[in-house]
Amino acid sequence: MPVERALVSVYDKIGLADFVRRLAACGVEIVSTGGTARLLREAGIAVRDVSDLTGWPEMLGGRVKTLHPKVHGGILFRRGEAGDRAQTAEHKIAPIDLVVVNLYPFESTAARPDLTHEELIENIDIGGPAMVRSAAKNFESVAVVTDTADYAAIAAEIEARGEVSLATRLELARKAFALTARYDGKIATELERLSAANSSIDLGQRPVLPARLHFAFTRQQELRYGENPHQRAALYVAAGRNATGLPAARQLQGKELSYNNLVDLEAALALAGEFRRPAAVIVKHSNPCGAAEQDTLVEAYTKALACDPISAFGGVMAFNRPLDAATAGEVAKIFVECIVAPGYEPAALEKFASKKNLRLLQLPAGYSAAQEAEWELKRISGGLLVQEQDRHELAESDLKVVTRRAPTREELDAMLFGWKVCKHVKSNAIVFARAGQTVSVGAGQMSRVDSVKIAVMKAQLPLAGSIVASDAFFPFPDGVEESAKAGATAVIQPGGSVRDPDVIAAANRLGLAMVFCGVRHFRH
């Protein structure tokens, strides 16, 4: 399928002139439209206007220029079909062998805060997607280029052989249909914002949970395996956007990542993002087994490790500051699967150089957990659950003292710290903490008192004088009683149980200070 004629109509003109100049040098006739044709002429490239090809001028303010049988007939013409050859000859339709099209930037336009509904509608590309779909459908005869990153390879292929191979045309068609699917999905999503009342149209806020969801993701990398070695897995990122968060992190050393590595890294990174001072988080099987926030990173790591050094073996770590040599030296003393941090001092990297299997990930500059997706998704049989991210931040003013004894300043600081950690522990969640340090964690039990007992059983540090954070209310006094028996002096919990009076009475009897925060943090 020699390339003799190309139709070029693009919004993003980066690299276009060089690409088209290479096509023209191969004898390819260039047909173009509007601003694209003007740019190519200014670059000294001979261009035929699409209106000359069709015999019709551009119409309706440019809305209609390529929607014509001589355009789509030239693209959809099947070279191997005798009937198609006869009809194109009869109607003097010139074959179009290469379509180079990219679309109006609808997504970036829709994100503008000052956008009007008229601008939103006018940035819906019609002719571009129609040509892309026509060319992609007829990939056995036509090549379609929608990505500027493909220009060099396509030009080289035409220069070498005068055509684009069938394998390349098929891959280009896949990319093209993925583009139009994503494009239409974005339009459908944004139209959820439009409301019509009294014969007028208003552009409102994006609905928190729209009536329809449209997702488009591209595979970034295959993973070593899924949760288990017999399961295959891959990492996908939002199509058409630059990767963010963990997918944008640069792996500095270590073997390839597995599914479980990324799940644990995300859990560790989310908790580390809760803290303002230097913080270290150690995660095992999605649960924090140690977390601390201190004046220095090495202090934070040392205190986080002290919480549960046994579980930390083979764990995943996250830091909210660049890793320095002193902290790296301490971390290097134990076996760790993965570490993610905003950066690493050269001396820190030297400490890890001998640990060839240790995966080190460096976050992209300017990373912030608050910038990540606003939705959490969970697949169930036959459907998809969608919820807002749990971004609730507790303020001291939200706390209500419900016992005779009010907490001390030290206990309050410990409560606020422990509550941040508790939010990231699988329910039923119990966290024993001091100010800036977890002391013990009980996670994922079917009864809350059992989570307390497990935290007490696992404790490597003294529990005397610690506080207890519970992600949901205590349904019975037993959890509070077990906590006090272990040495806790204060409790933070949501409250809201029908047995709150019994739980409060138990706390008063035991001399505990207890506060209700009025919000729960179930994590399933």
Q: Which residues are catalytic?
A: 137, 285
**Taking the CB of residue 295, how many other CB atoms lie within 10 A of it?**
10
361 close to 261: Cβ distance less than 8 angstroms:
no
Specify the amino acid at residue 521. Answer: H
186 close to 110: Cβ distance less than 8 angstroms:
yes
302 close to 328: Cβ distance less than 8 angstroms:
no
* Cα gap 274→268, rounded to integer Å: 10
Phi, psi of 497 (to 5 degrees): -80, 150
* Cα gap 316→314, rounded to integer Å: 7
In the numeric block, which tokens belong to residue 466? 């610690």
225 close to 260: Cβ distance less than 8 angstroms:
no
415 close to 401: Cβ distance less than 8 angstroms:
no
How far apart, in Å, are the Cα atoms of 76 and each of 52, 88, 92? 19, 10, 14
Phi, psi of 263 (to 5 degrees): -60, -45
List, in sequence order, every residue forming a beta bridge with 144; answer none if it has no partner: 99
415 close to 435: Cβ distance less than 8 angstroms:
no
Specify the amino acid at residue 295. Answer: D
**Element of type H or E holding 461:** none
**Taking the CB of residue 27, how many other CB atoms lie within 10 A of it?**
11
307 close to 291: Cβ distance less than 8 angstroms:
yes
Strand ranges inside 249-382, DSSP E: 250-253, 279-284, 287-293, 315-319, 336-341, 359-362, 375-380
Give the 3-state secondary structure of residue 251. Answer: strand
**Element of type H or E holding 100:** strand 98-101
3-state secondary structure 184-224: HHHHHHHHCCEEEECCEEEECCCCCCCCCCCCCEEEEEECC
* Cα gap 265→263, rounded to integer Å: 6
**Element of type H or E holding 517:** none
